[in-house]
């Protein structure tokens, strides 16, 4: 999809997504880092509630939100890649790609589909990058290294603060986050300001 900062915000603000973690996968290098990525790709790991959003719906978001487009050959770091967890996901992903390919004929989709093997979480400064840019709010959430990768609240705010989901959706979810009145006020201000803006890095 491109840079994983934008993808993490996009999915984080999507109803039904519970947790997101950015990282490196798809390659063979052991213990990759941002500065020494080897043959890995920047990816996003998503935990979601299948009673709220389906795998097919997640793929629909994927196909329609590529920073460099679906038919452009780019370096492996930012390439279009789907990593499936089981045979069912593999089949759904392949059918979804075929359908998208027909829609885009005569262009050829460059997306690769492969099994998920090793996943290496990215460095802390990459996790919930948009949220961490709001230092005053981020500090009040007491996010340690583990919570940056696993927190439901951090996942949602990382999307909402850049406008994903919008004010009306935030109203329906804000009470699940345990925010203080001042934290809510801060969030509403930036959601209203950024709703409808772009996400790319």
- The gap from C-alpha 100 to its chain's centroid, in whole angstroms, comes to 20
Catalytic residue among 1, 3, 10, 59: 3
- Beta strand spans in the chain (E): 17-25, 41-48, 81-84, 112-115, 119-121
Query: Residue 17 is encoded by which pair of tokens?
Result: 């997504």
Closest CA to 141 of 127, 165, 157, 126: 157
Pairwise CA distance, residues 58 & 106, whole Å: 25
Pairwise CA distance, residues 110 & 97, whole Å: 10
DSSP class of residue 74 equals: -
Pairwise CA distance, residues 201 & 80, whole Å: 16
Look up tokens 């934008």; give the residue. 6
Contacts of residue 137, defined as CB under 8 A and 6 or more positions apart, other chains included, come to: 131, 157, 161, 183, 186, 187
User: In the annotation, is 3 catalytic?
Assistant: yes
The catalytic residue positions are 3
């Amino acid at each position: 999809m491109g840079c994983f900062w934008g993808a993490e915000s996009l999915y984080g603000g999507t109803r039904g997504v519970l947790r997101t973690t950015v990282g490196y996968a798809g390659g063979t290098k052991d213990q990759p880092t941002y500065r020494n990525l080897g043959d890995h790709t920047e990816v996003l790991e998503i935990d979601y509630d299948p009673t709220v959003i389906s795998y097919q719906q997640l793929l629909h978001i994927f196909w329609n939100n590529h920073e460099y487009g679906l038919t452009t050959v780019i370096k492996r770091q930012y390439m279009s890649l789907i990593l499936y967890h089981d045979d069912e996901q593999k089949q759904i992903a392949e059918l979804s790609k075929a359908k998208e390919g027909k829609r885009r004929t005569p262009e050829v989709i460059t997306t690769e589909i492969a099994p998920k093997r090793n996943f290496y979480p990215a460095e802390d400064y990459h996790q919930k990058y948009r949220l961490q840019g709001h230092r005053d709010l981020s500090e009040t959430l007491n996010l340690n290294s583990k919570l940056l990768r696993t927190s439901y609240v951090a996942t949602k705010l990382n999307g909402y603060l850049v406008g994903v989901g919008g004010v009306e959706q935030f109203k329906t979810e804000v009470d699940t986050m345990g925010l203080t009145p001042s934290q809510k006020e801060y969030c509403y201000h930036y959601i209203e300001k950024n709703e409808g803006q772009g996400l790319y890095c």
